[in-house]
Amino acid sequence: MKKTIIALVSTLILAPSLALAGNDHDNNRQASIQYNGPVDTTSVSELLQDTSMFTEKDVVIDGTIIRQLKNDKFVFSDGNAEIQIELDDVHLATPLDANTKVRIFGEYEGGNTPEIEVDHIQIM
């Protein structure tokens, strides 16, 4: 009898908590808002001025992906200079070519081979 009462009370206490628990299985959700207004962008030339090994900064750049080096490494150009980019966890439904204008959001890392680790690509 005592065990039945404890089980019933425990169920009544835990039920609301379990009902309100969220579903966190979809951690890679994209924002549903696409803002097409002005954005502060950086040129590749500006980025390449600081190639210190300790340089890391968030950047937004516009241009085209002009060629593929490896499976997830590409060369990006803004029309004036080129830089290596890494598309590790980026998924696009639309195929890209060397003429597709894109806006890249990512993290610039200096060093011997400066590159941008791409977080998001927006087709212009």
Q: Could you report the per-residue pLDDT of 12-37, keeping only the tens digit for each? A: 777 666 556 655 544 555 555 666 67
User: Amino acid identity of 81?
Assistant: A
The answer to whether residue 69 is domain-embedded is yes
Greater confidence (22 vs 38) lies with: 38
The answer to whether residue 35 is domain-embedded is no
User: In which domain, by residue range, is 65 found?
Assistant: 44-123
Count of domains observed in the chain? 1
CATH code of 56's domain: 2.40.50.200
The answer to whether residue 87 is domain-embedded is yes
Instruction: Report the predicted TM-score, pTM, of the whole model to 2 decimal places.
Output: 0.66
H-type helices in the chain, by residue range?
Answer: 2-20, 44-48
Q: Which residues of 1-16 are buried (b: 16+ CB within 10 A; e: fewer)?
A: eeeeeeeeeeeeeeee
Let me know: does 97 contact 88? Beta carbons within 8 Å. no
* Host H or E run for residue 49: none
